[in-house]
Amino acid sequence: MNEREKAVFDPAVFLTNAGLGRKIVQVKPNETFFSQGSPADAIFYLQAGRAKLTVVSREGKEATIAIIAAGDFIGEESIASVGGRHMASATAITACTAMRVERSEMIRVMHEEHAFSDLFLKFLLTRSMRTQADLVDQLFNNSEKRLARILLLMAEFGKPGEPESLIPKITQETLAEMIGTTRSRVSFFMNRFRKLGFIEYNGRIRVHKSLLNVVLHD
């Protein structure tokens, strides 16, 4: 290979190793990557752990709008404009390892490396489809089905490979926020799922494939 020939760009290497404009950060449980309203000047790529996106209304009501898993980007609104602000807060649920990429470096690599821009575009499309599915879920499914769907998504059913049946520790309050119901209703459904053998619930939740019956049943 000619020494002057450009080395093959590997997105996985870029998102794994620190370099110019990017660094690896460790975020403890309940610590934030960024807060709603803070300057949107960097994007995070979650290498390990789980996080959540939350928004707070003017009245002070908080809602969890998404759970972030390893392999996801956080704060993609940072590339929209200079001087922008984050529209939500990103908080670690478990201990997280992430690559923090400055806005300027993110834009550079997207322009220069097609392999990376293809990867990022695929992520944006997947997230857009997930957002639409969440909206349909809220509009047409009852709270029991919405809870079952959230648990299955957190267990990564439907993704390539074996699902992670033991999901990260999450409170019933957070689950209630995500599906738009009360904690007491979540508690009722969780107990029902456990009695039917769909889940095991003793501090952390273990999801069984049979929980799909709740989502598929009309």
Tens-place pLDDT, residues 115-160: 999 999 999 999 888 888 888 877 788 999 999 988 988 888 766 6
Q: pLDDT tens digit string along 45-92?
A: 999 999 999 999 888 888 888 889 899 999 999 998 777 899 999 999
- All CATH 1.10.10.10 domain ranges in the chain, comma separated: 141-216
User: What is d(CA 176, CA 124) in angstroms, rounded to the nearest whole number?
Assistant: 26
Separation of alpha carbons 92 and 183, rounded Å: 21
Q: Under CATH, what is the fold of the domain 11-113?
A: Jelly Rolls (2.60.120)
* pTM (2 d.p.): 0.80
pLDDT reported for residue 214: 87
Positions of CATH 2.60.120.10 in the chain: 11-113
Q: Confirm if 106 and 77 have CB atoms less than 8 A apart.
A: no
Radius of gyration of the chain (CA): 19
Contacts of 159 (CB under 8 A, 6+ apart): none
CATH architecture classification, 141-216: Orthogonal Bundle (1.10)
Best CA proximity match to 52, nearest among 35, 43, 61, 64: 64
DSSP string, 72-94: -EE-GGGGT-TT-B-SSEEEESS
How far is residue 116's CA from residue 129's CA, in Å, rounded to a whole number? 20
For β-strands 62-68 and 199-202, DSSP reports them as unpaired
